[in-house]
A and B are shown apart, each in its own frame.
Chain A
Amino acid sequence: MQTMPKWADIVLIPLINLFLAFFISGLVILAIGEDPVAAVKLMVEGAVGSTYGWGFTLYYATNFIFTGLAVAVAFHAALFNIGGEGQAALGGLGVALVCLMIPWPHWTVALVAASVGAAAFGALWATIPAYLQAKRGSHIVITTIMFNFIAAALLNYVLVNLLRPAGTMDPASAKFPEATHLPTLSDILNSVGIPFAARTPANVTLIIALIACVAVYYLIWRTKLGYQIRAFGKSEPAARYAGISSVKIIMITMALSGGLAGMMAINNVMGEAERLILNSVEGAGFIGIAVALMGRSHPFGVLLASILFGFLYQGGAELALWTSIPRDLVVVIQALVILFTGALDGMVRAPVEKMFLMMRKGA
C-alpha cells in the first residue's frame, strides 16, 4: 500500500528538497558576507530574465537532458552508470571525426551523421564496462568511473597528437567546416518572427533532446525491451526466471545509456564550440546523475531537472561575473541540491510520509 499519493512523491518531495538546499545555500552566501536575496535575484535575472539568459540556460539544459536520460535508462536496469562524462567525451570525438573527415553538403545531413557518430562512440565506450559487468562481474560503478579517466587521457592524446592543426598551440581540433554549423535557437525563432537574443549557444539540438525524452519514455514503458529492462532492474533472479538474458540486458542498456550520453556532444561540440576542445563536457556527465535522481528516472522529470540545473549553471556564471561570490559557491549550491535530492531524500521522505499517514487516520 502506498503511504502517500503519487503527486507528493513526484512533486512535493523534490520541492521540499530543493527548498532546503536553497535555504542552506542562502546561509552560506550570508556567511561569506553577501546578500542572499540579491544573489538569487541576480541568478534569476541572469538565467531566465532575458532571452539571452534563456539561450544559455537551455543550452546547458540540453546537455543535462542527454546525460540525465543516460543515467535514467541505466537506473531502470539497476545499473549505476557514472561514466557519462567519459561517454560524452568520446561522443565528442565521434562528432569531430564525422564533421572533419567528410565534406557534408548541408547541416541536416551532417547532424544525422554526427548524431550517429556521437551515439556510436558513446555506446562503444559504455559497452566495455558493460561487458566486464555482464561476463566478468566487475562492478559497473567502478569500471565506468575509471573509464572517465581513460577517456580523458585518450582525448588528451588525440587532441594533442592527432587532431591539433599544425602550427597551433591550443590542444583543440580544427574548426568544423561551415556546412556543419547547426542553426541556433535564435536563428530558428527569429525566422518565425519570435525575437530571441542572438549569439547564444542554445541550438537545434534542444529539439533532438526533447525527441530523445519521448523516445526514452516510449522505450521504457511501451516496448518489450523496456519491460525487460525494468524487470531486470527490479529483480535480476526473477527476470532470469522469466527467460530474460542478463548479459543481453546489461549490454543493451549500457549501450543505450552510453549512446545517449554521447549524443550530448552534438550540442556542445557541434552546436556550440564547432571544434573539439579539451574538457568539452564540463562535468555534465556527473550532473546527469543528479538530474536523473531528481527526475526520478522519468524522462519528464529529467527534463524539468535539466532546466533547473541549466538555470543553476547559467545563474551561477552570472553570479560569479557580477558579484564577488566565487564560481565555486555555485558548485556548493549544486552539491547541496544533489545532496538533498539524492542522498538525504529519506530524511525528508519519512516525515512527509508520516504526515500523510496521520492525515489519512484523521480523515
Chain B
Amino acid sequence: MTLMKSLMGAAASIALTAGMALAEPAIIFDLGGKFDKSFNEAAYTGAKKWADETGGSFKEIEMQSEAQREQALRRLAEAGSNPVVMTGFAFGNVLGEVAGDYPDTDFVIIDMVVDAPNVTSVVFTEHEGSYLVGYMAAQASKNNTVGFIGGMDIPLIRRFACGYAQGAKAANPDTTVIANMTGTTPAAWNDPVKGGELTKAQISQGADVVYAAAGGTGVGVLQAAADAGALSIGVDSNQNGMHPGKVLTSMLKRVDVAVYDAFSRGTEQPGGFSVLNLASNGVGYAMDENNAELVSAEMQATVDAIADKIIAGDITVHDYMSDESCPALSF
C-alpha cells in the first residue's frame, strides 16, 4: 500500500513537472496524414522551419479518425501546449466547443473561422491562386480542355474549382473545364487510387492539364497524369518536383507560413481572423527548375500581370463560398 502510494506520488510529481515545462506549441494534422505532400505537409514544413530556427520543439498529433478530434484538442490543451494549431475546416465545430473550456490556451485554426476570444482563424483566398493556375492551364492546354479533381466535395474545394474555371475561361473562353470530386467524406483526402482513376477518365475526355486540390489524393492524380503524358497542377505545397517536367505548376497555399507565424507569435495570438491572399503572398503559383521549361517567360509575365490586376482590384475573382454558386462552372 505504502509502496503504491509513493509510486503514485512519484508519478503525480513527474506529471506536474512535465506539465510546467511544457509551454511549447502543438499542431494537429487532419485526416490525410502529415506527409500528404500537400496541405498537411505544408503545415508540417512550417512547424519544422520554426523548430529548426528557434531550436524549440513542438507536439504533434495526426488524426486517424473523425472521432479523435475533440480528444486530441483537449489532451493538448490539458497538457499545457500553447498555442495549439490545427489544420482543416473539420475542427471548426469541435474547437467551438472546446475553446471555451481552456481560456488560457490560444488556438489557431486554418481554413475555418471560429468565433471565440482565444481562437485565431486563418483563411486563404484559394480562388485567387486557383484563378492564376487555371489561367496557366488554359494557356498550356492543346485540346482546350482542362481538368479539376477535388478531394472532399465541400464548399471550400468548390471555391478552388470555381477560381480555376474562371481563370481558364479568362485565358481562353473556349476552354472546357471538367471537374470531379473524389468523394463526400474525409476519406477523399487520402485516396490516391481513386484520384488516379478520375485523372485517367478526364484525360480520356480530352483533358491535358489536370489540377488536383485533394490533399493526399493528389499524389495519385499527379502520377496518373505523368504516366499518361498529360500535365498536372499541384496544390498547397510546391509539388513541381514530384514529377519534374510533368507538373505545370503548383497552386501554393502558404499553410506553412500560417503555421510558422502562429508558432512564432507563441502565446501572443492576435485573435479574430486573418485572410492570407495574393497580396500578402498567402496564395500564389510555384516556379522552380522543375517546371521552368513548361512555363515560358511570356506565360509567366502574363500570369504575373493578372496577379497584379487581382491585387489591384481590377479583376475580381468570384468566391464560391460567398454565395454558393459559380458563374464559370456548374457542379
Contact = CB atoms under 8 A, between A and B. Distances in A.
Given A169-B92, A280-B66, A280-B67, 8 more contacts: A45-B15, A49-B8, A169-B155, A175-B93, A278-B66, A278-B185, A279-B65, A320-B61
Contacts of A278: 66, 185-186
A282 B67 contact: yes
Interface of B: 8, 11-12, 14-15, 59, 61-62, 64-68, 70-71, 74-76, 78-79, 89-90, 92-93, 101, 154-156, 184-186
Given A50-B12, A50-B15, A169-B156, A160 B184 contact: yes
Contacts of B75: 317, 321
A68 interface: no
Given A277-B67, A278-B66, A156 B92 contact: no
Nearest to A200: B74
Nearest to A281: B67
B66 A49 contact: no
A178 interface: no
Interface string A316-341: 01001100000100000000000000
Nearest to A283: B65
A170 B68 CA distance: 14
A151 B261 CA distance: 43
A201 B74 CA distance: 11
A248 interface: no
A282 B78 CA distance: 23
B15 A321 contact: no
A168 B93 contact: yes
A139 interface: no
Contacts of B185: 156, 160, 171, 278
A273 interface: yes
Contacts of A171: 184-186
Give the dominant DSSP class at B's interface: helix
A111 B62 CA distance: 33
Contacts of A50: 11-12, 15
Contacts of A275: 93
Contacts of B14: 45
Q: What band does the interface of chain A fall in when counting residues whose beta carbon is under 8 Å from B?
A: 20 to 34
Interface in A124-177: 156, 160, 168-172, 175
A288 B154 CA distance: 34
Contacts of A45: 11, 14-15
A321 B71 contact: no
14 contacts: A45-B15, A49-B8, A156-B184, A160-B185, A168-B93, A169-B92, A169-B154, A169-B155, A170-B90, A199-B101, A268-B67, A272-B70, A282-B68, A327-B64
Interface core residue of A272, A278, A320 (most chain B CB under 10 Å): A278
A242 to B, nearest CB: 45
Q: Which 3 A-B pairs have the closest CB atoms?
A: A169-B154, A160-B184, A279-B65
A288 B70 CA distance: 23
A52 interface: yes
A52 B78 CA distance: 10
B11 A170 contact: no
Given A169-B156, A280-B66, A321 B101 contact: no
Nearest to B59: A321
A278 B30 CA distance: 14
Contacts of B156: 169
B71 to A, nearest CB: 7
Nearest to A153: B185
Contacts of A327: 62, 64
Contacts of A268: 67
Contacts of A169: 89-90, 92, 154-156
A325 B328 CA distance: 48
A87 to B, nearest CB: 17
Interface centre among A56, A268, A279, A317 (most CB of B within 10 A): A279
Interface in A233-281: 268, 272-273, 275, 277-280
Contacts of A160: 184-185
A273 B70 contact: yes
Nearest to B76: A321
B184 A321 contact: no
A189 B65 CA distance: 30
Contacts of A321: 59, 61, 75-76, 79
B67 A201 contact: no
A201 B186 CA distance: 24
B64 A170 contact: no
